[in-house]
Structure 1
Amino acid sequence: MGAAGSSILGADGEWGETSLGDMPESCVAAVLLYLDPPEICQVARLNRAFRGAASADCVWAAKLPANYRYLAALAAAADDEGRGDGDANGKRFSLAATKKEIYARLCQSTLFDAGGKEFWILKNKGGLCISISSKAMTITGIDDRRHWSHLATDESRFHSVAYLQQIWWLEVDGELEFCFPAGAYSLFFHLHLGRPYRRMGRRLCGTEHVHGWDVTPTQFQLTTSDEQQATSEYYLHLHEQGGWKLYHVGDFVVSNSDEPINLKFSMMQIDCTHTKGGLIQEAVAPHYHRSGSGWISS
């Protein structure tokens, strides 16, 4: 592609060759605005003009959410608290970094609220994801080992999940206050029926304790501080031979990126005529809906 050229008539009357490398960086940058971040990184290999334009702040500013300074401040604070001496290359993240460096850092997960929650932006299509650990939620009977236990696992972003052995009354409540980038979001509970384990390198799922979820539907709810509400209910079933499943609670919309939203969510199954068990609560995740070619401006 970089070798392709066209003939032009020079000042001395002789024909010459021009190529993509002769394009001004400003023109290249205007084209790169229409590409997704991975595509920008790929075309940066073409030549010097594309490489320079692919690092321009004006290109990456368009890929960042409107409140990226708020997100970058959380990331910088997390890095200072967690690593102190910088990353693997000895370089510490700073709010004075280039827009490309800020984007790259925000694509990595950032823990906040004492490590019980994390956020990151998606590399491919933009958008914000947040994951909230079960340890950051209030769960009925979680401190009673007869009902619940904490399992260490590499299947969770937080390396730990809450496993329900047996209970009559189930209620899980959580809360999040965050300056979401403007846009539309969906909230999901990430659940698993059956206790996963490994035998001879194979992932298996013990389902002997799974019971009670087909009697009464489990109810999910979310409310926001600006009075948005959503409810849903599902009969929980084994999914793909004991795999994880995202249960959609509902949607909410953020119009102001600089205004913190308080989000409350819950999962309930309070039919006390039967016991239920065998459920793993891993996390709750609000996911951003991308609009058009980038972020929605606030």
Structure 2
Amino acid sequence: MYSVRTHRSHTICIPIPLHTIGFPSLLCTRIRMQIRPNLIPPSNHMGSLFSLPAAAIAPSQEPGLGDLPESCVALVLGHLEPLQICRLATLNRAFRGASSADIVWESKLPVNYEDLLARVFERENASFCKRDIYARFCKANSFDGGSKKVWVDKRSGNICMSVSSNGLTINGIDDRRYWSRIPSVESRFSSVAYLQQTWWLEVDGEIEFPFPAGSYSIFFRLQLGRAHQRFGRRVCNTEHVHGWDKKPVRFQVSTSDGQQATKQCYLKEQGRWIHYHAGDFVVSSSFKSIKVKFSMTQIDCTHTKGGLCVDSVQILPAKFKGRLQHF
């Protein structure tokens, strides 16, 4: 808010939202500017206040943003988004110091972040401040020998997980007549499992993890066809795709506390990655690990099927169903 004093000692306040520095539009600050009386033209019109010479404006000795205690600034920053906090950290020394306070970043972390640290990083980050822990969680962190990755979604603060094809139990994966591991720049894990042909498809996986309380969805990330680059362009070879229109694929999800879900669907679309929904589960306690099992099967042996790429299994908050293209 600008506060200007006229030659008759009247004060006029002009509210100005701080969009440019990251505050929400409802928050504003008070920046006081005092007008030198001898340089003010004698006029009662509001318009004259906006045409004053630059020499007429001088900073006052009243307290400003830089004089706010860091503890007070930290309380305000705790209600802002991480990107806004980082922008405000460049405003002055008080905001820079407050932006590193544990009280600011602890509110952005999952409520059971200590259990997550122990599961993913073990003792590696035991002495890190909350801001550094948050920054680390925002990256895709590998664990269980690199077969799984977990991260915090920056927009919502929710936990997301991806299980690679190497972390799944695939029937016949070691027989090169049926399966092969191929490199892929389109995978978070840099490789996928490619099915050339089989009579019996069975892919299983499980994870025991301290998920924060909430609803989660499980998706198999699959593609019919084998993609590669040719002259800098993406090309997907689908000549070996067959058998998926005969019988549906069966997806199943079960948890250690008795939840179960089953779905069936045909694999139809070729040439691009599709997230096939396997089922949902609910975590009631943030401070107790839950074991989740998931599977994909097509065991009708009356026909063969092939040409399928298996990238990973995604475990995401259920509300993310509309954002699957980002995963």
Name the TM-score, length of structure 2 as normaliser: 0.76
Q: Which residue of 2 aligns with 1:211?
A: 242
> Which residue number corresponds to residue 146 of structure 1?
177
Contact 2:280 2:318 in 1 (8 A): no
Task: Give unmatched runs, 5+ long, in structure 2.
Answer: 1-17, 22-27, 35-59, 321-327
- How many angstroms apart in 2 are the aligned matches of 1:283 and 1:102? 26
CA contact (8 A) 2:112 2:212 kept: yes
Specify the alignment match of 2:195 in structure 1: 164
How far apart are the structure 2 equivalents of 1:4 and 1:181? 37
> Alpha carbons of 1:116 and 1:277: their partners in 2 closer, same or farther (altered >3 Å)?
same
- The answer to whether the 8 A contact 1:8-1:16 is kept is no
Cα drift, residue 101 of structure 1: 0.7
Q: How many residues are aligned here?
A: 271
**Alignment-mate amino acid for residue 29 of structure 1:** A
The percentage of counterpart residues that share the same residue type is 56
**Matching of residue 281 in structure 1 with residue 306 in structure 2:** no
Match of 1:48 among 90, 93, 118: 93
Distance in 1 (alpha carbons) for counterparts of 2:315 and 2:68: 42
Give secondary structure in 1 for the equivalent of 2:177.
coil
Question: Are the counterparts in 2 of residues 171 and 266 from structure 1 also a CA contact under 8 Å?
Answer: yes
Structure 2 residue 109 is the aligned partner of structure 1 residue 64: yes
Q: Check whether the contact 1:183–1:255 (CA below 8 A) recurs between aligned residues.
A: yes
SS at match of 2:80: coil
Superposition pairs of residues 197-236 of structure 1, within 5 angstroms:
197-236=228-267
For CA contacts below 8 A with separation 6 or more, give which structure has more relative contact order. 1
Task: Write the distance in 2 (CA, Å) between the matches of 1:7 and 1:117.
Answer: 54
Q: Distance in 2 between matches of 1:130 and 1:194?
A: 25
Displaced runs of 4 or more, over 6 A: none
SS in 2 for 1:226: coil
C-alpha distance in structure 1 between counterparts of 2:319 and 2:268, whole Å: 30
Shift of 1:18: 4.4
For residues 138 and 105 of structure 1, the distance between their equivalents in structure 2, rounded to whole angstroms, comes to 29
Structure possessing the higher radius of gyration over alpha carbons: 2
TM-score (norm 1): 0.83
- SS of residue matched to 1:60: helix
Q: CA deviation at 1:198?
A: 0.9
Task: Give yes or no for the alignment of 1:178 onto 2:209.
Answer: yes
Query: CA contact under 8 A between 2:179 and 2:196: conserved in structure 1?
Result: yes
**How many Å separate the matches in 2 of 1:238 and 1:102?**
40
Once the two structures are TM-superposed, the CA of residue 212 in structure 1 deviates from its matched residue by 1.3
Correspondence for 1:257: 286
**CA 1:181/1:283 → structure 2, altered by over 3 Å: closer, same or farther?**
same
8 Å CA contact 1:169–1:271 kept in 2: the answer is yes
Is 1:5 matched up with 2:30? yes
